[in-house]
Amino acid sequence: MKILLIYPEYPETFWSFKHALKFIRKGAALPPLGLLTVGAMLPRDWPLKLVDMNVTRLSDKDIGWADFAFISAMSVQRASALEAISRCKKAGLKVVAGGPLFTGEYDQFEDVDHFVLNEAELTLAPFLADLEKGCAGRIYKTTGFCDIQTTPAPRWDLLDFKHYASMSIQFSRGCPFNCEFCNVTALFGHRPRFKTSGQIITELDGLYDKGWRGQVFFVDDNFIGDKVFLKTDLLPALIRWQKGRKIIPFNTEASINLADDRELMDMMVKAGFDTVFVGIETPDEKGLAECNKQQNRNRDMIESIKSMQRAGLQVQGGFIVGFDSDTPSIFQRQIEFIQRSGIVTAMVGMLNAPPGTRLYERMRNEGRLIGLFSGDNVDGKTNIIPRMGIDALKDGYGKMIQYLYSPKQYYKRAKTFLREYEMPKTRRVPVDFQRIIAAFRSIIRLGFLGRERYQYWKILSWTFFRRPRLVPMAITFAIYGHHFRKVAKLSSIE
């Protein structure tokens, strides 16, 4: 059986980094980890071909080669997924779909022949067994959660590494918290489940043996779901693995209570972690209570962020406006918080209700749902009717984004971070041909041709004389800022 694995294209969103990737001539930030893992669950003698539409086009020849198309996607990839499904159906190719988009909205895709939903470790095998018997059903789903210690290592051999800026692996699934707007627990449950450290080392060995030396993203929705296990098992294993190697930089996502454990932060940094994404959401206590963000409440969140930065971790942050408790003052409060925090990569979105969340159910019961969840964090859209009124929300949000992503304020925020960040003495920012070329491109596009050229040279000169080790980081921030402003324009925000 010949299987075509299709990963739809991302639009130009905040996290696509499409405009930043052009500086290093990469097609995508990350590979399709889910499809690579599913590929490892299929019979080994089945020929597989991966088409990541973010780095290559889906050709008629690809479609004609296959017996089945397996497609996985997230909500933000909906338009491209529909296009790919349509092309496959017109060619007479049967389509099997799974992943977050289809798990939440499978009733929206009439052309899909078979849905393998939830966790493939539980639903793929029954589908394959029925397929072999010639009686495959349309929908395979489960309410249970798998033991991910049985999950195989991804099929790295299906990838062409040269197209990607970073690789990704998964250590855990699930989150102990219960934020109203988040669909992580709906997809993966409240009880975090973990792979063994041996599994993670095997996956890293697979990447390293194939020549990968770049960033690796641990895609866990909350990497620190079990701090004891991290301290006693995984992190010591990662520290041992890094010894004698060119350090592989890691990044991940974590809850803000990471800041409460200096030992854990130090171990993460020693293991190679340099960046964490944290869901801040709002500086307003009423908003935090409304969305049940208990871990963020009753704390000085600015000081928590600074603690992580001083430990050697760059903090990227997620922020939301449009909670029922929000008043028009929230926009200025968010601006002041973000600027003070030194969070350079600050993703600010309007509150949305993804299918499967408690917020979605509440909005449906209150008659406040208005369309599909786009999955785009900064498109200036929402699928709910906000209490403050949609016009007031859009107007305040638009002005806030204009301010935060404007060159003056963006570079000011970057300088705040660079002034206070403590890079570990043992860490070295790799200087390779790719980074050198990216630096030269940034000088031309941003330093000479960009409207931010004054701010660009100002921060580079300041960093060169005050924090010379951080010059590569300053250049990276400049490139990221270029991407963020492009995305804001596409969203008609700026």
Is residue 135 located within the same domain as residue 171?
no
Nearest Cα neighbor of 201 from 239, 231, 229, 175 is 239
**Residue 490 pLDDT level (bands cut at 50, 70, 90):** low
Q: Taking Cα atoms as reference points, which of 492, 301, 479, 268 lies closest to residue 402?
A: 492
Same domain, 400 and 351: yes
- Token digits of residue 412: 């000011």
Using CA atoms, how far residue 339 sits from 18, 46, 236, 317, 344, in Å, is 25, 53, 35, 12, 8
171-206: burial string, b at 16+ Cβ within 10 Å, e else:
bbbbbebebbbbbbbbbbbeebbbbebebbbebbeb
User: What is the extent of the structural domain holding 261?
Assistant: 165-405
Specify the pairing of strand 114-116 against strand 139-140.
parallel
Give the CATH number for residue 261. 3.20.20.70
Task: Quote the CA–CA distance of 112 and 86 in Å, as a whole number.
Answer: 9
Residues 125 and 173 in one domain: no
- Cα–Cα distance measured from residue 328 to residue 195, given in angstroms and rounded to the nearest whole number: 45
Reported as a pLDDT band with limits 50, 70 and 90, residue 494 is very low
* Residues 356 and 234 both lie in one domain: yes
Q: How many domains does the chain have?
A: 2
Same-domain status, 122 and 224: no
Whether 60 and 186 share a structural domain: no
Averaged pLDDT for residues 246-269 = 96
Confirm if 140 and 127 have CB atoms less than 8 A apart.
yes
The pLDDT mean for the chain works out to: 95
The answer to whether residue 159 is domain-embedded is no
Distance (Å, whole) CA 291 – CA 320: 11
**Which pLDDT score is estimated for 307?**
97
Check residue 430 and give its pLDDT. Answer: 66
| Higher-scoring residue by pLDDT: 246, 366 | 366
Q: How many whole angstroms separate alpha carbon 292 and alpha carbon 113?
A: 38
Question: Mind giving me the DSSP string for 310-371?
Answer: HTT-EEEEEEEE--TT--TTHHHHHHHHHHHHT-SSEEEEE----TTSHHHHHHHHTT-B-S
- How far apart are alpha carbons 284 and 34 in whole angstroms? 36
Q: Is residue 288 one of the residues assigned to a domain?
A: yes
Nearest to 254 by CA among 221, 287, 294: 221
Q: How many CB atoms lie within 10 A of CB 118?
A: 20
Q: Is residue 361, in this structure, part of any structural domain at all?
A: yes
Q: Which of 127-131, 145-149, 263-267, 485-489 has the lowest mean pLDDT?
A: 485-489
152 inside domain: no
139-140 and 193-194 as β-strands: parallel, antiparallel, unpaired? unpaired
For 164, which DSSP code? B
Does residue 428 fall inside a structural domain? no
What tokens does 362 get? 């509440």
Alpha-carbon distance values, 388 to 68, 284, 308, 327, 392 (Å): 48, 15, 34, 7, 6
Decide which of 370, 405, 440 is a domain's last residue.
Answer: 405
Same domain, 57 and 135: yes
Assigned token pair, 322: 């449009």
Q: In sequence order, which ranges of 161-261 are alpha helices (DSSP H)?
A: 184-188, 197-209, 227-229, 235-242
The pLDDT of residue 323 is: 98
Q: How confident is the model at residue 493 (pLDDT cuts 50, 70, 90)?
A: very low
Three-class DSSP category at 204: helix
Q: What H or E segment, with its residue span, contains residue 309?
A: helix 301-310
Task: Report if residue 65 sits inside a domain.
Answer: yes
Place 172 in a pLDDT band, splitting at 50, 70 and 90: very high
In a domain, 413, yes or no: no
pLDDT > 70 in the chain, percent: 98
- Mark whether 179 and 69 lie in a shared domain: no
Q: Does residue 360 fall inside a structural domain?
A: yes
Query: Which amino acid belongs to residue 325?
Result: S
**Does one domain contain both 111 and 173?**
no
Judged against a pLDDT cut of 50, whether residue 143 lies above it is answered with: yes
How do residues 91-116 score in pLDDT, each as one tens digit? 999 999 999 999 999 999 999 999 99
Count CB-CB contacts under 10 A for residue 132.
Answer: 11
Residues 89 and 183 in one domain: no
What letter does residue 232 receive in the DSSP assignment?
I
Estimate to the nearest angstrom the gap between the alpha carbon of 143 and the chain centroid.
25
pLDDT tens-digit map of 281-301: 999 999 999 999 999 999 999
Please check whether residues 75 and 197 belong to one and the same domain: no
**Among 353, 376, 405, which residue terminates a domain?**
405
Last residue of a domain, one of 349, 383, 405: 405
Per-residue pLDDT tens over the stretch 426-465:
777 667 788 899 999 999 999 999 999 999 999 999 999 9
pLDDT digits (tens, 9 = 90+) for 194-231: 999 999 999 999 999 999 999 999 999 999 999 999 99
Q: What mean pLDDT is predicted for residues 23-44?
A: 97
CATH of the domain at 43: 3.40.50.280
Q: 3-state class of 468 per DSSP?
A: helix
Length of the chain measured in residues = 494
- Token pair for 409: 């304020």
Q: Say yes or no: 257 and 393 in one domain.
A: yes
